[in-house]
Structure 1
């Protein structure tokens, strides 16, 4: 397996880890990250000789997810970064894995929300108070860094995707 052919897998995985940790610590997911992931998907699709029909299906599910995410963002239910991250993950995983992805992300998101609610009911030790991100998570007026759940679900489902199988087969 060559480094060049497996590079997209590494980029996707590192980007998911970065997105999750970034959302946890800053409550933001950078636009450049989702843009890079979208571009890398199309490069990976070309490298693996993914059919134009399959690329179109991946693009359609990514776009549909973006529209749903924008609606959820407009309602104030998720952040804008979460909507874009969901969409780019949907682009990568395709229509065959998008439903399992949403189920897993929902389960992880529910567990994350419960954990943060429990954390917010605990008194904070002094050493935690020195970290802005830990204080932000403890603040009951702040949201939940749902990007962490979205990224974790993406990493869990990714090995079951067509792009992963094609990339490994080419390598």
Structure 2
């Protein structure tokens, strides 16, 4: 059963992530329905990969909730958008602890590079506009890089 659903769920996840990244670049916003879809598909992923209810599914839920709460602090401090926080929480539901930590570190590095590029662009254009970082792009890229193994393993 997982042989059919695992690649289908990964494909849907990739499409949703890429769509969220594009939307964040274009509108500096990520639709709630995309974040909700990513979060609501995670339990199907857990079943498809054969994750046991205890402690597997419980741990994944706790990781997602923990990431959501941690980054909600960044949102409350005005350092991150709400859509980005929800995207992180939803994506955390899909990743075990080690890939999740790798994704968060990679996201931070990519976000820093993105910020530097946008600052350089602002300087070149001599703009006084407030800098808005589409951090969803860093989240999506980091997520896709971390997911590359289960995605590519489907074709091996």
Deviation at 1:158, TM superposition (A): 1.2
Corresponding residue for residue 118 of structure 1 = 120
Query: Do the aligned residues in 1 keep the contact of 2:64 with 2:89 (CA within 8 Å)?
Result: yes
- Closer, same or farther: CA 60–139 of 1 in aligned 2, 3 Å: farther
Q: Given the two structures, how large is their TM-score scaled by the length of structure 2? A: 0.88
Corresponding residue for residue 49 of structure 1 = 50
From 67, 80, 86, the equivalent of 2:69 is: 67
Deviation at 1:142, TM superposition (A): 3.8
Aligned residues: 152
User: Given the alignment of the two structures, is residue 144 of structure 1 paired with residue 127 of structure 2, yes or no?
Assistant: no
Query: Do the aligned residues in 1 keep the contact of 2:45 with 2:94 (CA within 8 Å)?
Result: no
- Closer, same or farther: CA 75–140 of 1 in aligned 2, 3 Å: same
Corresponding residue for residue 19 of structure 1 = 20
Deviation at 1:139, TM superposition (A): 6.2
Residues of 2 paired with 1:107 and 1:4: CA distance? Answer: 32
Corresponding residue for residue 29 of structure 1 = 30
CA RMSD of aligned residues (A): 2.3
Corresponding residue for residue 6 of structure 1 = 7
Query: Higher Cα Rg: structure 1 or 2?
Result: 1
Deviation at 1:48, TM superposition (A): 2.5
Question: Which piece of structure 1 moves more, 75-84 or 32-41?
Answer: 32-41
- Closer, same or farther: CA 144–103 of 1 in aligned 2, 3 Å: same
Query: Do the aligned residues in 1 keep the contact of 2:107 with 2:139 (CA within 8 Å)?
Result: yes
Structure 2: 5+ residue stretches without partners: none
Corresponding residue for residue 109 of structure 1 = 111
Residues of 2 paired with 1:48 and 1:100: CA distance? Answer: 20
Per-residue CA deviation, residues 59-106 of structure 1 (Å, 9 max, x unaligned), is 111000000111110000000001001111111112121211111000
User: Given the alignment of the two structures, is residue 77 of structure 1 paired with residue 79 of structure 2, yes or no?
Assistant: yes
Deviation at 1:6, TM superposition (A): 1.2
